[in-house]
């Protein structure tokens, strides 16, 4: 067991007496490493609040709010359905996450959290690189500039993997050479100084792993999950969001149910799309050309309804 693993085990063995509400299902996984991708992970560090805290804040009451579970569940459904946010801001959660740098840059576009990232100015990054599973090596989508299409196969896929592995190893070798330091801190050549860590890091590829602590309130956490847990999100960030959705279910089960119903598995409609649906329900024949919707909006409506709507020939 490494010193890092020993530290985590020590945290998991510690217990504290408290008067504040706790969630047993979260206590079970507190500090536990949840693996993601090839070297990444999610680790729950702390949390505050539960479903009752949301209800209490919404009613500005004392104690635990209503005694009827059905009323609490109904209120939370109402709050999410009508886009109320402040009651959910009363709950917070903190994670320790590890991911490839290019995914971290995507992740940190969400500026509604408190973040403290591992510093490559101070420490040496580990020799760890994200190398995609062959099933994730896909070609560029022709319709979606941010998406993927068919999986690469045969020699082309093998060549891509070879390039990724060779370039990653070469860059890290040069990183160590410039530092004149191995990842354990020992010098490569005791007769030279080496480049500063803050400069040597610029040679590293963005598939190197970084890690950070990330604290966010429940309202903004659900917004993050609704975007990054969506089926259209990039695979490498979506797998993290999917693990966090499982944690959301443990933490606030009533809120989780409402989130899935109205956000992640629900679909917002524009004014024009709603008009089209009303006409279709009345039996009117309508095409993309007569609908007032763009081709992209029309495709999204078809996808949402899981049907092929009429088009002019």
Q: Which of 109, 87, 107, 111 is nearest to 99 (CA)?
A: 107
Q: Check if the beta carbon of residue 132 is closer than 8 Å to that of residue 152.
A: no
* Angle between helix 295-305 and helix 271-281 axes, rounded to 10 deg: 50
Alpha helices in 119-202 (DSSP H): 154-179, 197-200
In sequence order, which residues have a C-beta less than 8 Å from that of residue 294 and are 6 or more positions away?
none
Cα angle value 84/88/90 (rounded, 5°): 130
Which residues are designated catalytic?
Answer: 228
3-state secondary structure of 134: helix
The beta-strand segments (E) located in 74-202 are 92-100, 114-117, 138-140, 148-151
């Amino acid at each position: 067991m490494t010193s890092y693993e020993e530290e985590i085990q020590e945290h998991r063995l510690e217990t504290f007496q408290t008067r504040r509400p706790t969630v047993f299902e979260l206590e079970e996984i507190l500090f536990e490493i949840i693996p993601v991708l090839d070297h990444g992970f999610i680790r729950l560090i702390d949390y505050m609040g539960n479903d009752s805290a949301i209800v209490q804040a919404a009613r500005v009451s004392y104690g635990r709010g209503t005694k009827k579970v059905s009323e609490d569940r109904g209120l939370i459904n109402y709050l999410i359905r009508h886009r109320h946010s402040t009651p959910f801001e009363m709950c917070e959660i903190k994670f320790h996450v590890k991911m490839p740098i290019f995914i971290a840059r995507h992740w940190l576009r969400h500026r509604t959290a408190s973040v403290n990232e591992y510093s490559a100015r101070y420490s040496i990054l580990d020799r760890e690189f994200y190398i995609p599973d062959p099933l994730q090596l896909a070609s560029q989508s022709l319709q979606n500039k941010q998406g993927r299409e068919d999986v690469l196969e045969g020699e082309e896929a093998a060549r891509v993997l070879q390039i990724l592995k060779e370039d990653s190893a070469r860059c890290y070798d040069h990183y160590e050479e410039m530092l004149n330091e191995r990842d354990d801190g020992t010098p490569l050549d005791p007769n030279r100084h080496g480049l500063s860590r803050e400069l040597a890091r610029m040679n590293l590829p963005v598939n190197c792993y970084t890690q950070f602590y990330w604290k966010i309130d429940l309202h903004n956490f659900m917004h993050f999950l609704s975007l990054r847990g969506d089926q259209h999100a990039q695979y490498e960030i979506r797998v993290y969001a999917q693990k966090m959705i499982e944690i959301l279910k443990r933490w606030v089960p009533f809120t989780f149910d409402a989130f899935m119903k109205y956000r992640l598995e629900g679909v917002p409609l524009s004014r024009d799309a709603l008009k089209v649906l009303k006409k279709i329900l009345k039996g009117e024949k309508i095409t993309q050309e007569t609908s007032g919707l763009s081709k992209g909006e029309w495709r999204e409506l078809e996808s949402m309804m899981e049907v092929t709507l009429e088009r002019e020939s």
